[in-house]
Amino acid sequence: MHAWRQRFQQEGTPGLADRSRRPRTSPTRLPAEIEALICQMRRRHPRWGAQRIAYELGACDLERVPSRATVHRVLARNGLVTAQQQEHKHTYRRWQREAPMHLWQMDLVGGVPLADGRECKMVTGIDDRSRFMVIAQVVAVPSGRAVCQAFTAAMRRYGVPFEVLTDNGKQFTGRHIRPQPVEVLFERVCRENGITQRLTKPRSPTTTGKIERFHKTLRRELLDDVAPFESLAAAQETIDAWVHAYNHARPRQALNMAVPAGVFRPHGPAREPLDPIPATDAGRLAELVDVAEPPPATLSESAVEWEVRVPASGSLTLVSGRQTATVHQGLAGRTLTVWADIRSIHLLLDGHLVRTLASRLLPHDLAYLTMRGARPAGPEPATAALPRAIGRKVLAAGEPVEVERKVHSRDGHTDG
């Protein structure tokens, strides 16, 4: 009232009109050149939102990077934000695994045109935690064999995941085959490699939402705007280049604007083809999925080490069906380091030797452990459990041997 009275005394009735309350100075106002840069980024990349633009401004060597909310207000003030209708009326529960290589999502997607009129498909696979694309293979025929070839090639390069999630397509499962369910090749590859296979409910594409979202991005940013490819090889080369940028140069909001390659942690570098399938069936399955026999491992190169957590029983399964070990139950819950080769297995706790036992592992068992995350081992921490000579031949399956046994005097039985 005092301000109005003073203005009335000085200016009369016109002094009572409403005036702007804008401050005379705005030291924190966004500079006009930065606001123009934000609008330029939005026009050049219409799919970039406020968070992505704020992230890109952080790499422009600005004295003060605007926040996501500031960027959004700039876009709205300049008419660059359009209201979108909600695509899904339901709210879905989001989930993801705790670490990379715990789960891969796999699927098939079409829409890859060729100049000869054919439309090819792609076998795709994404790591659930890091959103890293592990499989992007163009195939002429989406058969079970093509899917397994792409799957095994990815495992040779990145290692074996613990789980794989797919839909109920006939390339992935045979449980819906009539009149009687069968085991398809993909299921057998998972079983022989110790991978837990998980299937979605019928007509539930949101369960594999991460790989479906990748398909949408692939179509919108690449496949919808390209002419038919000259050949299958040309299509694969173009998609490989796009996927490389997707993995290494595209920040993801779900990863706090980190790129997938910065979060993804494979179980090891690219390795030679491995085949942990029994020798009786290896030849026929290798013929189906083109899996070569593993290269012979030398004793000096085969030692590996990894960590295991001791269960309450104290019984450790190092390799299923091949090697177990038992430690004191007082170590339950502790983490042991396992050093193993084809002669000895050493169990260490914080660098101190707990137990040494004879190894029953074969070279392909060590190679399989390497694919599951074991790393090359250092020097042997203790003397070998068995005086096995270096270079001694490892008996093949079915090869005869001779042993000596002592007959007991009472019942005629021999020592087992």
Q: Can you read off the two tokens belonging to residue 76?
A: 């709205």
One-letter amino acid at 387 equals P
- Is the model's pLDDT at 83 over the cut of 80? no
| Alpha-carbon separation of residue 371 from 161, 269, 342, 380 (angstroms) | 9, 9, 17, 21
Check whether domain 29-83 has CATH 1.10.10, yes or no: yes
| Alpha-carbon separation of residue 252 from 106, 124, 131, 144, 217 (angstroms) | 20, 19, 8, 32, 12
Q: What does R_g of the chain's alpha carbons equal in angstroms?
A: 31
pLDDT at 271: 38
Check whether domain 103-263 has CATH 1.10.10.10, yes or no: no
3-state secondary structure of 13: helix
Torsions phi, psi for 311 (to 5 deg):
-75, 175
pLDDT at 87: 63
Higher pLDDT, 158 or 411: 158
Residues in CB range of 198: below 8 A, 6 or more apart? 103, 163, 164, 165, 166
pLDDT at 411: 58
- Is the model's pLDDT at 269 over the cut of 60? no
| Mean per-residue pLDDT over the chain, rounded | 83
3-state secondary structure of 336: strand
pLDDT at 211: 95
pLDDT confidence bin for 415, thresholds 50/70/90: low
What pTM does this model have? Answer: 0.60
- Is the model's pLDDT at 97 over the cut of 70? yes
Over range 143-168, report the average pLDDT.
94
pLDDT at 281: 40
pLDDT at 217: 92
pLDDT tens for residues 324-344? 999 988 888 899 999 999 889
3-state secondary structure of 238: helix
Domain ranges, ordered by start, for the chain: 29-83, 103-263, 296-416
